[in-house]
Structure formats: structure tokens, C-alpha cells
Chains A and B, each alone.
Chain A
Amino acid sequence: MVAVASRLTVDCRGQSIREVNRAIREAVAAGERSIRVLYPEARHNLAVALLAPVEIEIEGSVGYYCGGMGDGPRITISGSAGWGLAECLMDGQVICRGSAGNGAAASIRGGRVVIHGNAAARAAISLKGGTVIIGGSTGYMSGFMMQKGTIVVCGDAAEGLGDSMYAGEIFVGGRIAGLGNDAVEQPMTAEDIVRLEDLLEEYALPGDARRFRKICTGGRLHNFNKHEFDMWRAAL
């Protein structure tokens, strides 16, 4: 006997998002591990708070906060995403084939968020772990106050990159329009290059890992120093 894998399809047309999310959650609770979501039509809050390693394939564009607060799901979006994509992800993977709006992957604690197109302003701010990979360019103040984790930008980064970051690493393949307060460039290590090569290969993203630049915290904002008051005034 060969078991035929069932695959649930959820059509968003004519349903409220609450109904769609309930249908997904009930299917997951019943043991479903692969779900297709059709006709999302850029609506908000799709596939949020999923706590199981379920495959969710969304065919089309999604609105705000798609995949937010997930712990374990593997979500793929064939179109683009609005603001707050995968916000507060704990673990799992969210892949967006198109571009993402402001605040993509904000405050994630783990897992991976991969955006094949561009990310808008404030991508991966307050990152608390995990990996955020952007195939295109990223907008203003990406990585602001990140505390842990890794950001990879294959294209360009806009102004204020890594502003006031506490820790973690940002790798940029293209041009950096400007670093934020206390973000500094550090030399790439051999381990960094190997790790980047693996990530780029895994998601079939462009770029030569050896040509990326690495941005880290300068550490000068970790402790207040009254002799560096001007730097603090600029940062605040």
C-alpha cells in the first residue's frame, strides 16, 4: 500500500480572514501537514500564530503581518507581502517570492525569513535571533536595534543600516547608502564566507559571498559615557 499524501486547499474567496485562519488551524490540529491557500488577494493577517511544522503554500500576494507569531510553520508566498511580514516569528521559515513592505521580520526570535525581492524600510528591526535573507535591496534603517541574529542583503542597503544595533551581523552584497549610529564595518572571516555561500546556494540567490561586506556593532553605545555626549545626542 502506498499512502497518497492528502493536501488541503483553502480558498479565501468569500471568507473572512478569521474563517480562513480557523480552517488552517483546525486542519493542522487534525494532523494536516501541507496546505495550499488560494486567492489571498493581499488580505491581512493570513496564517498567523501557527505552532506546528506545517507547510503552507500561499498562491498570490498577502497583506500585513502574514505568518506573524509562528513557531515552526514553513510558509511560502508566491506574490509580495505587506507590512510586518512574519513579525515575531519564533521558529520555522517564511519565504516571499516577491517584495515585502515595511518592518519585514521585525522582532523575530528564530527561524528564517527569505524575501526574494526587495524589503522596504525597517526590515529586521529589533531582531532577537534567526536569519533574515533579502535577495534584492533593503530600505531605510534596516536592522535598527537588532540584538542577535543575522541579516543578509544581496542588493543595496538604504541609509541608517544597523542603527544602534546591540549585536548580530549584517552582510551586504551591494552598495550601502549609509551606516546608522555605531554600526561599523568589520572584515569578513573565512567562516562568514562559507556560511554565506551555503545560504545563497540554499535559496538560489545571486552574489559572490567573498564580495559581501560585514556590518557589526561598534559597541560604543553599550555603556553611557559622558565624554561621548555628542555621539549619544546624535543617536537619540
Chain B
Amino acid sequence: MCGIVGYFRKVDSEGPIGEVMLRMITALGCRGPDSTGLALYGGKRRSGAVVRVKLADHTESSRQATAILNALAGMSEIRTSAVDDGVLRVELGNGAAATAVERAVLRSAPGSEVFSIGRRLDLVKRVGTAADLDASFHIRGFRGTHAIGHTRLATESKVDISHSQPFWAHGRPDLATVHNGHITNYVKLRDLYETRGHVFYTHNDSEIIPAYLGEQIDRGATLEQALHRSTADLDGTFSYLVATAEELGLAKDGFSAKPLLMAETDEAVVVATEEIAIVAACGRDVHAAELPAREVRVWSR
């Protein structure tokens, strides 16, 4: 099953995104009781970046966090840092390259995993429900412009924080995805990307999607072109959402095997696996409709 949700404010001002997203993923909690996650986008582009790192070992986490902060201090001013539930959040003062930051983190703390780097993006996820997610990361008060979210029912790979969604496109700041479905040519694609140097951190087939989109965009495709190509290159069942600093996009497989509904208000575009989440976000008077097979949409500001 799994549930995915997306919310994109049409006006370029911040709104109560954290609160709206919590309502939506709570509504889809029964579709994905294993884990919950959100990629939240703030309204102001930071001069630096927010980095989220899963520390390798809880007992060693403070030592690891110190090692990572020491390594990053050599690259950038560190504005703030905190550890919540074994996940380090660092706000860098200036924009070091994402690949260099990720490399420095992994060298200073072997076994850790970079969940996200973004100028607008902050990515939170954990095993458990939407209420658990808010208890750990205090996202209810988050104000921003858009977000995507996921509730997971694991079918193919294990239940832990690393295998939870959203997934970030390593090396590409701000690009994150949430996926409902199963990519059946995942092993083949993963082998291909690994020969090109891409590192995969999990055995979740959904991790292929940000890798695929990141590579298409690196080759010069727009997000919309990359989404269109994915409906032919990705095999299996999927409805997925992608967000960047300025955009929200979606793609659906050619059989419409997985649900995805859309609704639009004066204020926002809302997409979700079930109407129940759209009602939770916008109330009961909004017209929501299932999107057709092979649908691709992109909203940007």
C-alpha cells in the first residue's frame, strides 16, 4: 500500500506546511503503519544548507556528531546543530558543494548516512506514526512553501529509518521523492548506476527514483522531461512525487496501478493517495479526482 501526499502553495509566501502535512499523513496512517516521513521546503533560500545525518550508533552518537561537526567546520561556518533521536541536524552558514559535504561526513563518521542536504529542504523520517515523527522532530510549527510526505507499509525491504521515505537525490541539493508502488527493474537499474559510481544506502527499490531523476537532470533534462522519461524507463507500478527547491512534480505508471488524486484550491495544489488526506488538508468541499494513467505534472514558482 503506502500513502503519499504533496502540498504546494501557489503563492510564494510561507504557510503552516508542517501542520497541514501532519494532518495529511495522519489521515493516511492506516496505509503505512511502518514508518513516516516528510520533505519540507522553507520559503527562504538559505545562503548555506541544512544537512541531516543518521548517526551510525546511538551509544556513540555524541562522539560521532562531534567528529562530523569538526569535519564540517573546516568547510563552512556552522550556524546551529542538534541531535534528535540519533539524527544530526546541522545548518551550514555558507554553501559548500553537496558532494563534498557528504564525503566529509562519511569520512569523519563511518557508517553514518546523509539523509538530505538542501538550501530549502529539511527532511525528517522515522519508524512509527505521524505523531511519533512530530514528537521526535517538532515539525508542527514548520512554515514553508511546499512539502511531500510518505507513510510506509514495507513489502520488499526491512523496516528501519534508512529504508523509510522520502529519499534524497544524493549530490543534488533539495531534490527528494516519495513513491507508492514497486519498481520491478530496480536491480537492473541499480547495477547500472553503481557502475557509474552512484552509492545506494538501502535495499528499498524506491531509492532508484531520485537517483534516476538526478541523473536525467544532470544530463540536461528539465524536471518535466525527466518525469516523462521515467514513465517509460521505470518498470512496475508507481505513483510518485518529487520536490525541488522551487517545484513539485508527479508521475504515474502506464496502467494507473497505484492511486493518486489531485485537488486545487485558491491557495494550493494538493495531491494524495486517497481523498481522505485531501479532506484533512482542505476540508470537504474541494473537488478531488483520480489522475489518469501515465500522467505527469509539474508545478513551479
A residues with a Cβ closer than 8 A to B are 39, 41-43, 60-61, 63-64, 79-80, 82-83, 98-102, 117-118, 120-122, 139-141, 158
Q: What are the residues of chain A within 8 A of B279 when measuring CB–CB?
A: 41-42, 61
A101 touches B261 (CB 8 A): yes
Q: State whether A102 touches B290 (Cβ < 8 A).
A: yes
Q: Report yes or no: A61 in contact with B284, Cβ–Cβ below 8 A.
A: yes
The total number of A-B Cβ pairs within 8 Å is 67
Judged by a CB distance under 8 angstroms, whether B293 is at the interface is yes
Q: B299 within 8 Å of A by Cβ?
A: no
Residue of A nearest to B293 (CB): A140
Closest chain-B Cβ to A180's Cβ sits at a distance in Å of: 13
CA distance A185 to B292 in the complex (A): 24
CA distance A82 to B275 in the complex (A): 7
B55 within 8 Å of A (CB atoms): no
Could you tell me if A120 and B276 are in contact, using CB atoms closer than 8 angstroms? no
| A98, A101, A117, A141: most-surrounded residue (chain B CB, <10 A) | A101
Q: Identify which of A42, A99, A101 contacts B278 (C-beta below 8 A).
A: A42
> Restricting to B247-279, which residues have a CB under 8 Å from any CB of A?
254-256, 259, 261, 274-276, 278-279
Would you give the shortest CB distance from A181 to chain B, in whole angstroms? 15
C-alpha gap A139/B287 in the complex (Å): 18
- Taking a contact as CB atoms under 8 Å apart, the answer to whether A43 and B276 are in contact is yes
Complex partner residue of A42 from B256, B276, B289, B292, CB under 8 angstroms = B276
A120 and B261 alpha carbons, distance in the complex (Å): 10
CA distance A42 to B286 in the complex (A): 12
Q: Is B17 an interface residue (CB 8 A)?
A: no
Tell me the dominant secondary structure on chain A's binding face: loop
Known: A42-B279, A120-B290, A120-B292. 5 other contacts (CB 8 A): A39-B284, A82-B275, A101-B259, A101-B261, A140-B293
B274 touches A102 (CB 8 A): no
Residue among A82, A98, A122 making CB contact with B274, cutoff 8 Å: A82
Contact B292 A140 (CB under 8 A): yes
**Cβ 8 A contact of A158, one of B259, B261, B289, B292:** B292
CB distance from B250 to the nearest CB of A (A): 15
Residues on A with C-beta less than 8 A from B287 are: 80, 98-99
In the assembled complex, the CB of B44 is this many whole angstroms from the nearest CB of chain A, namely 35
Nearest CB in chain A: distance from B273 CB, A? 10
Q: From the candidates B256, B275, B278, name the one contacting A102 in the complex (CB within 8 A).
A: B256
- Interfacial residues of chain B within 146-170, with CB under 8 A of chain A in the complex: none
Are A63 and B274 also in contact (CB < 8 A) when A102-B259, A102-B290, A140-B256 are? yes
> Contact at B255–A140, with CB atoms within 8 Å?
yes
From residue A143, how far is it (CB to closest CB) to chain B in Å?
A: 15
Q: For B243, what are the chain A residues with a Cβ–Cβ distance below 8 Å?
A: none
Chain A residues in 8 Å Cβ range of B117? none
Residue B176 at the A interface, CB < 8 A? no
- Please name all residues of chain A whose beta carbon is closer than 8 Å to the beta carbon of B288 when the two chains form the complex: 42, 61, 80
Write out the residue numbers on chain A whose beta carbons fall within 8 Å of the beta carbon of B284.
39, 41, 60-61, 79
Residues in chain A near residue B275, CB distance under 8 A: 42, 61, 63, 80, 82
